[in-house]
Amino acid sequence: MNKFKYLLAFFSFIVLNFLIFNIHVCYENNDDQLLQFISSGTLTSNPSSYLVLTNVLIGKALSFLYSTFSYNGINWYFLYLCFCLQIAYLTSVFVFYKEKMVSSFAFFASLGIFLFGIFLPFFIQIQFTAVALFLCFAALLLLQTELTTKAEVCIVLFLISVAILIRKESFFIFILFSVPLLLFLWKNNISLKKPIFVIIFSSAFFFLSDLINKQQPAYITNNTYAEVNAFDRIYTKPISFTSTDLTKNNLTESDIRLIQNWYAADSIALEKKQVIAFSEQVKS
């Protein structure tokens, strides 16, 4: 029976790769297009590792690939997202393969749901935040089983570490779901030693990788994250402001509305100090 499950898993992986490279695939939103442009140097002819939304460590790897292996127009950014999503898929399949009580029919049905109902739609419209979340949930899925080998612990650590590098906010999702997960393991008399080690490691990795990212000279010089947080505060949250708030920063209501409608070409969007000061004033 295990051989049959193995063949099913292998066949589903082949089908997944066939579909990925034979159907039209696009990015779900403009963020990924922008990150690809930055890492590949599409607009500047100079690949950059400063992806802002994704950790600079991944940015350095991508800029190296684009700089060193630029022939044939290989889209390394897209391939790296596909690779990560494939790892998440294989981990999810492995968890069901590992479960001895799952029948071959249930295993086959689970593969169908995972392949066509969950993963394939996200491959067709791939998005870096979704990829980070899939890696995070794959790590949680494996973590809720009894980690019997060091290899399984390493897989969980790899999944959550890459998820954090892609989108650091995935760490908070991981911690949020880890609490009920620990209670579940405790009630089922499963050792908490390895899960607690994973949580401690991921916490340390989160703070260290975030520190490395924010200490990049280019980010410090350009005050990048203060700017990102300011625009994000205005873009995504309902804010209330008075005419006094606008006057203090030499802004108009039309300026704010244009920014909220993602019209970054508006001249006021380029006056970053004014926008940062305004966002700090109305953030409460």
Check residue 209 and give its pLDDT. 96
Q: What is the pTM of this model?
A: 0.81
Mean pLDDT taken over the chain: 80
Q: Of 27-31, 61-65, 120-124, 191-195, where does mean pLDDT reach its minimum?
A: 120-124
Q: In the chain, what percentage of residues exceed pLDDT 70?
A: 73
Check residue 1 and give its pLDDT. 47
Cα separation, 154 vs 198, whole angstroms: 9
Cα separation, 107 vs 4, whole angstroms: 10
Token pair, residue 63, equals 């800029």
Cα separation, 229 vs 237, whole angstroms: 11
Whether the predicted pLDDT of 234 surpasses 50: yes
Q: Of 15-19, 62-66, 120-124, where does mean pLDDT reach its minimum?
A: 15-19
Whether the predicted pLDDT of 99 surpasses 80: no
Rounded to whole angstroms, what are the CA distances from 146 to 156, 174, 184, 189, 195? Answer: 12, 18, 11, 10, 9
Side-chain half-sphere exposure of 58, counting CA atoms within 13 A: 27
User: 189-218: b or e for each residue (b if 16 or more CB lie within 10 Å)?
Assistant: ebeeebbeebbeebeebbeebeeebeebee
Side-chain half-sphere exposure of 35, counting CA atoms within 13 A: 27
**Is the separation of the CB atoms in 228 and 52 below 8 Å?**
yes
Whether the predicted pLDDT of 54 surpasses 90: yes
Check residue 265 and give its pLDDT. 47
